[in-house]
Amino acid sequence: MAREGGSGYHEGTTHGHFLGKVVNFMSANRAEACKGCTSSVQVTDAQIERLLSRIKPEDRIDDDRYKMRLEACASCESLAYGTTCMHCGCLVRLRASLKAERCPHPLSQVRPKWPA
Ligand code: SF4
């Protein structure tokens, strides 16, 4: 069962609600039906920084693993607009910053993209 505002990808995590709110924020600002197919889902660095600043320090992953996760996203075919994962609709800079989150790629169980 998905949580309020959640996409279902974040079930069982303490951060799903936060990411769900981010996805809802992006969806609310869209001009067309598909959140993954419109320019309105593009967000600025300043918007991402503002969202990052709201994450509790205890929920953040360490800098080295954060960098490795983002490097994996940067070379991933599922990254859209340079910011957004096409599998969950998350801003990867946010998702990757949360230590409890995992890469949502369908093959991540057999071929992980993010380091453990
Ligand atoms: S599938 Fe994983 S590695 Fe690819 S963009 Fe999404 S979170 Fe990043």
* pLDDT tens-digit map of 24-62: 665 555 444 455 555 566 789 999 999 999 999 999 999
Residue 31, domain member (yes or no) = yes
Q: 70 CB under 6 A from ligand 1?
A: no
Strand-pair partners of 91? 84
In 10 A of CB 72, how many CB atoms?
Answer: 18
Identify the pLDDT of residue 38: 57
* Whether residue 85 has its Cβ less than 6 Å from ligand 1: yes
**Is 73 or 36 the better-scoring residue by pLDDT?**
73
Q: Per-residue pLDDT for 72 more than 60?
A: yes
**Burial tier of 13 (Cβ tally within 10 Å: 0-12, 13-18, 19+):** middle
- Please answer whether residues 102 and 108 qualify as being in contact, where contact means their C-beta atoms are separated by less than 8 angstroms: yes
Residue 54 counted as domain residue: yes
Look over the chain and give the mean of its residue pLDDT values, rounded to a whole number: 79
Domain membership of residue 102 (yes or no) is no
Whether residue 69 lies inside any domain: the answer is yes
In a domain, 5, yes or no: no
pTM, two decimal places: 0.72
**CA-closest residue to ligand 1 atom 8:** 73
Q: Is residue 106 part of a domain?
A: no
With a cut of 80, say whether residue 98 has pLDDT above it. yes
Count of domains in the chain? 1
Question: 72 C-alpha to center of ligand 1: Å?
Answer: 7
Question: Under DSSP, is residue 102 helix (H, G, I), strand (E, B) or coil?
Answer: coil
Residue 23 CB–ligand 1 contact under 6 Å:
no
* Domain housing 42: 16-95
- Distance (Å, rounded) from C-alpha 65 to C-alpha 52? 16
- What is residue 43's predicted lDDT score, i.e. its pLDDT? 86
45 lies in some domain: yes
32: amino acid identity, one letter: E
